[in-house]
A and B are shown apart, each in its own frame.
Chain A
Amino acid sequence: MRESRYWILSLVAAACLVVLLGTHLFLMHLDTLLAYLGMANPDPLDYSAVMARGRSGGWVGAYILLLAFSLYHGLYGLRSVLSEVVSPPGQRMLTWAVIAVGFIAFTWGTYVVIKSSLMGGV
């Protein structure tokens, strides 16, 4: 595949990350702002709140998408940076190493999210 396709995918991932990370930040870390805006939100790290999110299919899907987009965007950038300093013979290995890291991290992250969902959100 041509480099422009990977680059477009990276841009698409970035656009999706703006939405997903924005939502994540707003709900998980800006609860004081939410309270200020009059939107009552229980402590997002409260046990029952974590369980409720873990049971929700929408949250599980959003977590997996957030993981996929952030891994792709971050690892594509990392590959671009490293390819400037890695000599040409090592670049194919670099690409495969980045793919392997991405695959392992995605599998692990997805496993954690699904497992906790199956366990009832723990």
Chain B
Amino acid sequence: MAVFKIQRYDPEKDGRPYFQTYEVPVEQGMSILDCLFYIKERLDATLSFRASCRMGICGSCAMYINGLPRLACETQVTSLATDTIEVRPLPNYEVIKDLVVDLAPLFEKHQRVRPWIIPYDPVELDRPTKEYHQSPAELERYLQFAYCLKCGLCLAACPTVATDQEFIGPQALAQAFRYNSDTRDGGDTERMAAVDTLHGLWRCHMAGACAEVCPKGVDPALAIQLMKREAVFGKKKGRARLADPPHAVKLLPGILKAPEPTVKRSEGEI
């Protein structure tokens, strides 16, 4: 049996947040999210929290569990090595209700860094004629940063976000670095203009808490330091070359044929 102390707060009814305690029969393999569902389904239907995939992919169930920002679905109760579990909403965000926080600032900051590939040739993007060739080494430069779930844990852990709400934050900065490092992208200048500001790159105090809490092993602190170097010394980035799609390729033994495209293009269409 584990005791769950959960922070409850409904801004429309409650004057201030308070803790409510629940007892949950914990079995081996249960995650914090399983326990929250147990509470909601059997003990208190008024408890609010956000969850979706239950497998560490969507990032919806980010919350503050026993003093650390974590994903509830990925946190095993037994891994906390205690019978008393305190669950609060993520810090550095406004609470909508109970464990549900307003993630709008996260997405607004994310959008500011233009987190998409801005091609050198917009015509090629609109009506592609060839494929981009990118080597495994070029992919490696940004791959870990592409694992970001947008769960918002890094902003919750960041002491700089706590003191400066204007700070663009580790998530957006890591994504700026991710796209700046992509050889298919030509939007470095625009992106750098968005992050090379007083509340951008240079506001980071290098606490490294963002990297500590990321459930996907992304290291935003590293991205920020690498991008600082690029801001000071400039950057040389190769461009992905356009190549004809492979044709008449003979598959090596043991390699399965790729499935047919699910959407067929009409004849004459490029």
Contacts and interface: CB of A to CB of B under 8 A. Distances in A.
B193 A84 contact: no
Contact of A3 (B160, B166, B198): B198
For chain A, the bracket of interface size reads: 10 to 19
Interface stretch (B48-56, B147-155, B200-208, B216-224): B200-208
A42 B187 CA distance: 62
Give the secondary structure class of B's interface: helix
B193 A2 contact: yes
Interface residues of B, number: 17
Nearest to B167: A84
A116 interface: no
A4 B196 contact: yes
Contacts of B203: 84
Main secondary structure of the interface of A (DSSP, over half): helix
B121 interface: no
B163 A3 contact: no
Contacts of A3: 196-198, 200-202
Given A2-B193, A8-B232, A80 B198 contact: yes
A7 interface: yes
B131 interface: no
Contacts of A88: 166
B43 interface: no
Interface string A86-119: 0010010000000000000000000000000000
Residue from the set A8, A80, A84, A88 with the largest chain B CB neighbour count within 10 Å: A84
Nearest to A95: B198
A83 interface: yes
B242 interface: no
A66 B192 CA distance: 33
A8 B231 CA distance: 10
Contacts of A2: 192-193, 196-197, 231
A4 B163 contact: no
A85 B203 CA distance: 12
Interface in A57-81: 80
Nearest to A88: B166
A91 B203 CA distance: 14
Given A84-B163, A88-B166, A4 B201 contact: yes
Interface in B131-179: 160, 163-164, 166
Interface of B: 160, 163-164, 166, 192-193, 196-203, 228, 231-232
